Amino acid sequence: MKRIDAVIRPSQLDEVKRGLHDLGITGATIQEARGFGRQKGHTETYRGSEYTVDLLPKLCLSVVVNDAMLEPALEAIITSARTGVIGDGKIFVSSVDEVVRIRTGERGPTAI
């Protein structure tokens, strides 16, 4: 099993969820995040004074999939989150040793 953590633009969430749902992936965890990278930041004006916004809003989407679903899931996220502009995000993949569904006690891939 693999865990996919995708840091994406908030505006792309619905499209990414749709792409994953089309693959049969029915669950994900989404957290609001703020970060910085190559996108840098931007300057805004509030009540006549300028200030720099260094940390930009992002979403961190986490999903656990079977090994066979890894590549299709990655492709769905990449295709639906890509705008072609700096700041589209990053995807991190890590191995998952065990999954346990708390309600039923199921373990392993059936608990996903």
47 pLDDT above the threshold of 80 = no
* pLDDT band of 40, cuts 50, 70, 90: low
Residue at 88: amino acid letter: D
Per-residue pLDDT at 2: 98
Cα separation, 3 vs 112, whole angstroms: 11
Instruction: Tell me the mean pLDDT in the region 75-94.
Output: 95
Which pLDDT tens digit goes with each residue over 4-20?
Answer: 999 999 999 999 999 99
Two structure tokens written together for 1? 């099993």
Q: What class does CATH assign to 2-111?
A: alpha beta
Closest CA to 87 of 32, 40, 33: 40
Cα separation, 12 vs 49, whole angstroms: 31
* pLDDT band of 44, cuts 50, 70, 90: low
Instruction: Tell me the mean pLDDT in the region 38-47.
Output: 69
For the chain, the structural domain boundaries read: 2-111
Per-residue pLDDT at 93: 98
Which pLDDT tens digit goes with each residue over 51-83?
Answer: 677 788 899 999 999 999 999 999 999 999 999
